[in-house]
Amino acid sequence: MNTSIPIQAPMGNPPVFGNFYVLSWSLVNLAIIIVIVVLIFRYLKQKNDFRKQVLNRLDSLISLLQHRKDGNE
């Protein structure tokens, strides 16, 4: 009993503008992804800046200690 059922195309036209709920939800999801990426880059930049600051401090301490050592000899 294989009877084929004819499938007809839906009547009417699609709306001119898409569904605003779907569109806005997609934009919210995209904005969340962008915010997460920006926060990750900001965190990595702060971490890198902190490392540079620590290295500069250590370099200045080493130079002060060498200067003090050279002065005592």
Maximum alpha-carbon separation in the chain: 107
Higher pLDDT, 4 or 26: 26
- Summarize the chain as % helix, strand, coil (round to 5): 75, 0, 25
Domain ranges of the chain: 44-73
What pTM was estimated for this model as a whole? Answer: 0.57
| Average pLDDT value for residue range 8-36 | 84
Q: Determine whether 18 is exposed, middle or buried from the number of CB atoms within 10 Å of its CB (0-12, 13-18, 19+).
A: exposed
Render pLDDT for 13-25 as a digit per residue (tens, 0 to 9): 766 666 788 889 8
pLDDT-derived band at 28 (thresholds 50, 70, 90) equals very high
- pLDDT above 60 (res 49): yes
